[in-house]
Amino acid sequence: MLKHAIPYHHNTAQLFAHIAHLEWAMWLDSAQQHNALGAPSSQYGHYDILVANPIITFVTRGDETEITETGHVVFSKEDPFQLVKNTLAKYSASAEKNLPFAGGAVGYFAYDLGKCIEKLTQNTQIHAQTPQMMVGIYDCAVVVDHREKTVFLISQNLHQKAQENFDALRALFYKPSSGDDIFPFKITSKIISNFTKAQYEQAFHKVKNYILEGDCYQVNLAQRFAANAQGDGWQAYQKLREISPAPFMAYMRLPQCEVLCASPERFLQVQNQHVETRPIKGTRPRVDNAMQDAQNALDLQSSLKDRAENLMIVDLLRNDIGKNCAIGSVKAKQLFQLQSFANVHHLVSIITGKLAVGKSALDLLRGCFPGGSITGAPKLRAMQIIEELEPHQRGLYCGAIGYVGFDGNMDTNIAIRTAVYADGEISFYAGGGIVADSELEKEYTETFDKASSMMKLMRFF
């Protein structure tokens, strides 16, 4: 293994700027924020992971995955999760003590990748433009530890040019980074939803009828917002992390798109076979008035509806992770914990388990995909209803972003509060779980509460 200490900077954006121009550059961002004295000023921020120049890339469109390695391209119709799993298994690489990631797969798994698992009737929807999966295999990674104030560049030294690539990457951190303002980011149109209020109301009542008829208990109904844009999305992401810091953020500069993610929700984590998922269900807006803000949080914590909604998803995820966990190991560790973010309060639960013998992190990811907190229950019927009622395919929204290491460890988010910038358009979604006693106006308003940070970002530009 190759390892080099890089001077620590409390703002990882300053480090990422050195490699943002490289191919497939990605930053898994823990949203560490500091005050003027350099002391931590948020509840987030332990590790950040930066990668670029993967040795292999996977790009899935429909039922075909394009695999590129050292300039050589092949196509496969094999299950995309299995392709990544098989590739990681080819490498014998060691974990690095006290660091979460020392090389492996980093990227996104879009919501629509779930259609390779569950066979859904394809409706005449407008197709998402971005691929269903974009994952790179990275020999080199930069890991920032904000608590220890260290930065390490690590390489597993897995291929012929590993030392050369390691040296080139290391050198970049000692050169001035390119300016952020070369192509200023700008919104050039109004933000438009794919639902009018009347259309949302119609879809809402269809969901309520499905619940009444016994088809499902809960369906996550989302609307898509989009605007024309130009310039560099990296500039917009830096502003997003100021507006809406969250523990599972990410920025990705990919060939087909840029991804700006401010997710508050962990999907699946594996550490030494220990499994954890943290579903979010239940939302109230943050307000400037301190007394009203505290009352909103109290209302959320005491809401029987929101607790029931959360519990439905807890049960779904217990079943999902149980497919690949040891019998008897799955536990609901905490239920209905209040967690407050920049624009909303949420109820969060924690479910844990232990991977069964012979099962891997990618088996777990596939077995739980897409996450139940953003489909509904039961999952398959909820996905069918989403497919029927939402005008656009979801693309990356409600998929997952994260890493799967050579060492078998994994951490992924649920890709909510996430914008995709491609072909001169930036788009993002916001949704909410509809249950039997949901009220139209409250559910409709909740989607705007969840979209408020992205809306604020758009208005800034």
DSSP string, 183-205: S--EE-S--EESS-HHHHHHHHH
Provide mean pLDDT across the span 276-305.
Answer: 89
φ/ψ of 238, rounded to 5, equals: -60, -35
Global pTM reads 0.93
Q: How many helices (H) and strands (E) does the chain have?
A: 10, 25
In this prediction, residue 44 carries a pLDDT of 62
CA–chain centroid gap for 378, Å, is 22
| Stronger pLDDT, 181 or 334, i.e. the higher one | 334
pLDDT score for 32: 75
Is 265 an annotated catalytic residue?
A: yes
Could you tell me if residue 389 is inside a domain?
Answer: yes
Q: Which domain holds residue 215?
A: 2-175+188-460
Indicate the pLDDT class of residue 302, thresholds 50, 70 and 90.
confident
CATH code, domain carrying 215: 3.60.120.10
CB 429 within 8 A of CB 223: yes
Residues with Cβ < 8 Å from 80, sequence gap 6 or more?
Answer: 58, 60, 65, 109, 113, 116, 132, 133
User: How high is the pLDDT of residue 250?
Assistant: 97
Average pLDDT over residues 204-213: 96
Q: What are phi and psi of 316, to 5 degrees?
A: -60, -45
Domain assignment present for residue 352? The answer is yes
- The reported pLDDT for the residue numbered 115 is 85
Q: Name residues whose C-beta falls within 8 Å of residue 168's C-beta, 6 or more positions apart in sequence.
A: none
Confidence check: pLDDT of 70 > 80: yes
Q: How confident is the model at residue 38 (pLDDT cuts 50, 70, 90)?
A: very low
In a domain, 343, yes or no: yes
Peptide bond into 370 cis (omega under 30): yes
What average pLDDT does the segment 207-222 reach?
A: 95
Calculate mean pLDDT across residues 208-215: 96
Tell me the C-alpha distance between 50 and 173, whole Å: 12
436 in Cβ contact with 211 (< 8 Å): yes
Q: Within a domain: residue 335? A: yes
Q: Which band of pLDDT confidence, cut at 50, 70 and 90, is reported for residue 131?
A: very high
Q: Is residue 183 part of a domain?
A: no
Handedness of CA 278, 449, 378, 260 (dihedral sign): negative
Q: Give yes or no for a contact between 429 and 450, defined as CB atoms under 8 angstroms apart.
A: no
C-alpha distance from residue 300 to each of 144, 284, 413 (Å): 35, 6, 23
Closest C-alpha among 161, 123, 100, 116 to residue 411 = 100
Query: Quick one: which of 139, 116, 141 has its CA closest to 28?
Result: 141
Cα-only R_g, the chain: 21
Does the structure show a pLDDT above 80 at 192?
Answer: yes
Looking at this protein, which amino acid is placed at residue 367? G
* Residue 281 CB neighbours (<10 A): 27
- The confidence score (pLDDT) of residue 127 equals 66
Catalytic (active site) residue 388: no
282, 336 contact by CB (below 8 A): yes
CB atoms within 10 A of CB 64: 12
Mean pLDDT (the chain, rounded)? 90
117 falls in which pLDDT band (50, 70, 90)?
confident
Signed CA dihedral, 375, 380, 381, 384: sign only: positive
Does any domain span residue 358?
yes
Q: Indicate which residue of 281, 354, 359, 450 is catalytic.
A: 281
Per the structure block, which two tokens stand in for 67? 């695999």
Residue 304 lies inside a defined structural domain of this protein = yes
Q: What is the pLDDT of residues 374-414, one digit of tens each?
A: 898 999 999 999 999 999 999 999 999 999 999 999 999 99
Q: Within 13 Å, how many C-alpha atoms sit on residue 157's CB side?
A: 7
202: pLDDT confidence band, cut at 50, 70 and 90? very high
With a pLDDT cut of 70, the percent of the chain lying above it is: 95
Residue 416 in contact with residue 265, Cβ under 8 Å?
A: yes
Around Cβ 412, how many Cβ atoms within 10 Å? 28
- The sign one gets for the Cα dihedral 214, 215, 217, 223 is negative
- What whole-number percentage of the chain has pLDDT above 90? 71
Instruction: Give the helix/strand (H/E) hosting 295.
Output: helix 290-302
Measured distance CA(9)–CA(107) in Å, rounded: 24
Q: Could you give the CA distance from residue 351 to residue 331 in angstroms, rounded to a whole number? A: 6
Residues 248 and 415: beta-carbon distance below 8 Å? no
Number of domains in the chain: 1
| More confident position, 268 or 71 | 268
Report the alpha-carbon distance of residue 391 to residue 26 in Å, rounded.
Answer: 30
Strands 150-155, 140-145: pairing kind: antiparallel
Least confident range from 7-11, 60-64, 176-180, 439-443: namely 176-180
* Cα–Cα distances in angstroms (integers) from residue 305 to residues 282, 283, 433, in the given order: 9, 11, 11
pLDDT at 313: 87
pLDDT band at 365 (very low <50, low <70, confident <90, very high): very high
Q: What span, in angstroms and rounded, lies between the C-alpha atoms of 402 and 455?
A: 25
| Residue 39 pLDDT grade (very low, low, confident, very high; cuts 50, 70, 90) | very low
DSSP per residue, 256-280: S-EEEEEE--EEEEEETTEEEE--E
The residue annotated as part of the active site, out of 265, 390, 443, 446, is: 265
Mean pLDDT of 291-314: 88
The reply to whether 77 falls in a domain is yes
Task: Compute the distance between CA of residue 147 and CA of residue 136 in angstroms, rounded to an integer.
Answer: 28
Cα dihedral 22, 28, 30, 34 in deg (nearest 10):
0
pLDDT at 181 over 60: no
